[in-house]
A and B are shown apart, each in its own frame.
Chain A
Amino acid sequence: MTFPRVTSNDAYLDEQTKRVIRRALLKGVAIPGFQVPFASREVPMPRGWGTGGVQVTASVIGPDDTLKVIDQGADDTTNAVSIRQFFSKVASCDTTTRTDEATVIQTRHRIPETPLSEGQIMVYQVPTPEPLRWLEPRESETRRLHALEDYGLMYVKLYEDIARYGHIAKTYDYPVIVNGRYMMAPSPIPSFDNPKLHRSPALHLFGAGREKRIYAVPPYTDVRSIDFEDFGFEPQQFKTPCAACGSVGVYMDEVIVDDQGGSIFVCSDTDHCERVAASRQEVDTRFEEASA
């Protein structure tokens, strides 16, 4: 059987497609928080597994870049490994697990604990780009609501949450207003991570492959988590320090340790955890050496 040799361009997508996506990205950067429709291409992983993020990464990455991929904050979760392996196979970039060494960070559901710096690009995998989707299923209608800046539906939902539960029952994908204009879904990052978007020195790009939308938060842009004057935004807080590295003020994974419901809390960000633990050990060793 004759079979055409399957070859692919650097970073998989052909240059024409990369240009199409870059145009959408530029438009997204020009109108922060606005969802730009784009003709999302198939990539060699299933829809809903980060295909939007993969297309954005493929369009912005070059041979001088260093890529980090995290899923749920961790570099070693299987889908993060799979996407990192994909790019180390098809792209001529380096890969890393260190936040401070990466120039492009593709992420699913977390922003790293290590503060981002100028020149870094965050690429988010977005399942549902429309923050109003659970309140209005129709795309034609939600586009109209955005055009009119009519976000009353969301405020009513938050109000109802407060009336019913005493809290805003939105713990991840907590909607934000970008640059004082568009309501935006920050992808399902925990609301703990929302403040990291506000005036971040990094460029944040959001790719929703299945839903065919791209949007962006340029560096140093105002990103406000929506709330009420008399009922403020309340991100998660964890009372116990990380059981592995002792960090406080970071997002935690709960690890079940026995069958009695006992659990410990460890950093969700594995790179942060490893480096803090390593530096602790270094300090301990030096202290022991000094005291010996």
Chain B
Amino acid sequence: MYVAVKGGEQAIANAHALLASRGRGDRTQPAITPEQVRDQLGVLVSRVMTEGSVYDPDLAARAIAQAQGDALEAVTLMRTYRTTLPRFGTTVAIDTASLPSERRVSATFKDIPGGQQLGATFDYTHRLLADPTEPLAVQTAVEEDEPMPRVTDLLGAGALIEPVTNHGEGEDPDPDPADLTREPTVFPMSRAERMQALARGDEGFLLGMGYSTLRGYGGTHPFVGEVRVGEVEVEFVPPELGYPVSIGRIEVTECQMVAQFVGSSEVPPMFTRGYGLAFGRSERKAMSMSLVDRSMRWEELGERKVAPANDEEFVVEHADAVAATGFVEHLKLPHYVDFQAELVLIRGIQEEIRERQAGASPSSDPSTSSGVGPTSSDPSTSSGIFEEVSR
């Protein structure tokens, strides 16, 4: 096989070697193991799993270590691995109402059945750099789990909030979700497709979009109905068995945002929902997602589209960090050819201007002595550039 060997190949090999060496850092220090990343950088692992669309803390940890801590690189590694995996079906919808919650907070009611539980949160930590040698604080025993019905279900019982699904009589209450990684995406999207796009979307971008809805760009006046974090069983119905079997457990963060709705001639005013779900401990992501989800439902709820967060095409097309970072960074690639084409044009235009100015200056007409002004008698070449300049 003939493979051309040119300067570029050596440069790439050297760059890879230097990258690996920089990533390793000081060799007198022990290398970080993926196990350490998995256990001690769990929040980052959650983000990489969520945006990478694969639930596998070990692989995500390995990706983070390989990417030298670059979250988007790690997400790209996960996605590239994921796309090679065969797909054998869709699981039963996970039941988050019955998940034994490690964390559960509601901003809508003080006292809720099952109680509130802070869980592992940065919320009330004082953001002071801590002494890493300080011993771990000991957690005091907590009460046993009791059932925690969803806050939105409590509102639903009084018909104060829109029903959870609008499937009609006889329709499948748990239809297969869409999958935009396997089917072409065409706008407008279904809510399921949008939710998948948001789940894969960049945490920072969604945070910004969600934030914008709170600052008046398409305000939805939301309340956190409930945020909960916990492990949930994943069940799958193999066609040859016909009944669900458990295939594992995943940790998820769920956010149900309760938003206002003014109502219409057919529907009385009631609360509406925004939903967010992410792998692991990803509260910021789940909350942002639920805000943006609610914003993008403007059409379904008969609202007006007034803000960037309402705009499905804008949000979905720009939320994917893998696409965004790839395209922004591709500007580093050579653009000699296009740039040369622009050079040729700009030089041509400038030359024409100079020629015209040179042709105009000997004129005795004082109005054209400035060098700017239409001088050519040929209308086809008397271009607007002069009008532009003299304006």
Contacts and interface: CB of A to CB of B under 8 A. Distances in A.
Nearest to A171: B341
B139 interface: no
Given A14-B84, A236-B344, A162 B1 contact: no
A53 B319 CA distance: 23
Contacts of A39: 180-185
Given A96-B2, A139-B313, A1 B181 contact: no
A84 B328 CA distance: 23
Contacts of B344: 171, 236, 238
B341 A167 contact: no
B298 to A, nearest CB: 15
B181 A72 contact: no
A190 interface: yes
B169 interface: no
B27 interface: no
Interface in A151-187: 162-167, 169, 171-173
A38 B184 CA distance: 4
Centre residue among A38, A81, A85, A108 by max chain B CB count within 10 A = A81
Majority SS of interface residues in chain B?
helix
A61 B328 CA distance: 29
Given A14-B84, A71-B333, A80 B8 contact: yes
Contacts of B176: none
- Which bucket holds chain A's interface residue count? 35 or more
B166 interface: no
B82 interface: yes
Interface in B329-365: 329-330, 333-338, 340-345, 348-349, 352
Interface in A211-268: 212, 230-231, 236, 238, 251-254, 268
A109 B337 CA distance: 7
Contacts of B81: 6
Contacts of B333: 49, 71, 79, 108
Interface string A76-102: 111111101100100000111100000
B12 A166 contact: no
B327 A127 contact: yes
A109 B352 CA distance: 28
Given A42-B322, A164-B385, A171-B345, A95 B335 contact: no
A236 B348 CA distance: 10
Given A2-B58, A109-B337, A42 B83 contact: yes
Contacts of A49: 326, 330, 333
B86 A14 contact: yes
Contacts of B388: 164
Nearest to B11: A78
Interface string B1-37: 1111011110110000000000000000000001100
A140 B187 contact: yes
Interface in A1-23: 1-3, 6, 8-9, 14, 17
A140 B35 CA distance: 46
Given A3-B59, A76-B7, A252-B340, A94 B2 contact: yes
A108 B334 CA distance: 10
Contacts, number: 181
Interface residues of B, number: 63
Nearest to B321: A47
B1 A88 contact: yes
B384 A210 contact: no
Given A1-B58, A166-B349, A127 B185 contact: no
B334 to A, nearest CB: 5
B62 interface: yes
A139 B1 CA distance: 43
Given A37-B184, A42-B79, A165-B349, A268 B337 contact: yes
B325 interface: yes
A231 B329 CA distance: 37
A42 B82 contact: yes
A37 to B, nearest CB: 4
A76 B4 contact: yes
A78 B8 contact: yes
A171 B338 contact: yes
Contacts of B182: 39
Interface in B255-314: 313
A191 B84 CA distance: 38
B4 A85 contact: no
B381 interface: yes
A1 B62 contact: yes
Given A44-B80, A109-B338, A172-B341, A1 B35 contact: yes
A41 interface: yes
A1 B80 contact: no
A134 to B, nearest CB: 14
Contacts of A135: none
Contacts of A112: none
Nearest to B76: A46
B289 to A, nearest CB: 21
A202 interface: no
Interface string A106-123: 001110000000000000
Interface of B: 1-4, 6-9, 11-12, 34-35, 58-59, 62, 76, 79-84, 86, 180-188, 313, 317, 322-323, 325-330, 333-338, 340-345, 348-349, 352, 380-381, 383-385, 388
Given A1-B62, A39-B184, 17 more contacts: A1-B34, A8-B84, A14-B86, A37-B186, A43-B83, A47-B322, A71-B334, A72-B334, A79-B334, A81-B12, A88-B3, A95-B4, A139-B313, A165-B384, A166-B385, A189-B337, A210-B323
26 contacts: A1-B34, A3-B59, A6-B81, A6-B84, A37-B186, A38-B184, A39-B181, A41-B181, A44-B80, A46-B322, A48-B329, A75-B4, A78-B12, A81-B6, A88-B1, A97-B4, A140-B188, A162-B384, A165-B349, A166-B381, A166-B384, A167-B383, A171-B344, A172-B338, A172-B341, A190-B340
